[in-house]
Amino acid sequence: MISFKQTAACLGFAMILAISCSQPAKHERAGQDSLTATTSIESGPADDSIPPSRSIIPGDRIGLTRLNDRADSIVNNLGKPDSGDAAMGKSVSYWFSKPRKEVTMVYFTTNMGAPNAVPRAKQVSVTSSFFTTKSKVSTGASLDFIKKKFPLLKILGEYSDKARKISVYNDPSGIAFNVDDSGRCIAITIYEAGKDPSQTYLSIHPGWKKQG
């Protein structure tokens, strides 16, 4: 069995939205219109050319794995996890594809004490380029390309994966990108829009340093 630390290293993964209010009303309105345009890149109807099993929708799902799905439902879809860890109402599960050893990670939390409390997915991450966003962003994409598709992208934090520094950039729509020191995306993560995913990264990567 691969250890939790080893599998965490495989993934090699604050919202700040500043809108100036000091401009004249006309400019403010123009700025709002521009903001709407830049945030609508991934919004609206899904791209029919991308099968649901491959699509990444920020703040919602990766493939058929959806945020807030029950853990037992996800296991029914993906099969038994290859590795994982759990403590204090939180758990992380890993699935490895063959032969390339791509990783799917799901982070679950349980609302302890609540009636019928069950683990539910709060964060989903993949390393495979099989999955793609509506704007054709997948792992392997350059940071420059990702920024063109997600203009509100901001640095969230960084951690070390062996000798590499991994920087994590996130967009307030509920998506984050792990980028290695060559400027290439190595993992894509979704989480609930409006939430700060930093604590989850700290749980998975003990050397996590929040930025911004």
**How does the average pLDDT of the chain come out, rounded?**
81
| 19-51 pLDDT, tens digit each | 233 333 333 333 433 333 345 456 555 567 899
Torsions phi, psi of 154, nearest 5? Answer: -135, 155
Whether residue 99 has a cis bond before it, omega within 30° of 0: yes
pLDDT of the residue at 150: 97
Q: Calculate mean pLDDT across residues 187-192.
A: 96
| Residues paired with residue 160 on neighbouring β-strands, in sequence order | 165
Please give the pLDDT value at position 118: 92
Q: Which residues pair with 168 in a beta bridge?
A: 157, 178
Length reported for the chain: 212
Is the pLDDT assigned to residue 71 strictly greater than 50? yes
Amino acid 109: pLDDT: 92
Question: How many Å apart are CA 183 and CA 74, to the nearest integer?
Answer: 32
Task: Give the pLDDT score at 73.
Answer: 96
Q: Which residue has the higher pLDDT, 195 or 95?
A: 95
Q: Which of 9-18, 69-78, 157-166 is least confident? A: 9-18
Alpha carbon distance 38, 49 (integer Å): 22
| pLDDT tens per residue, range 97-127 | 987 789 999 999 998 777 778 999 999 999 9
152-188 confidence digits (pLDDT tens): 999 999 999 888 899 999 999 999 999 999 999 999 9
Predicted pLDDT of residue 42 = 65
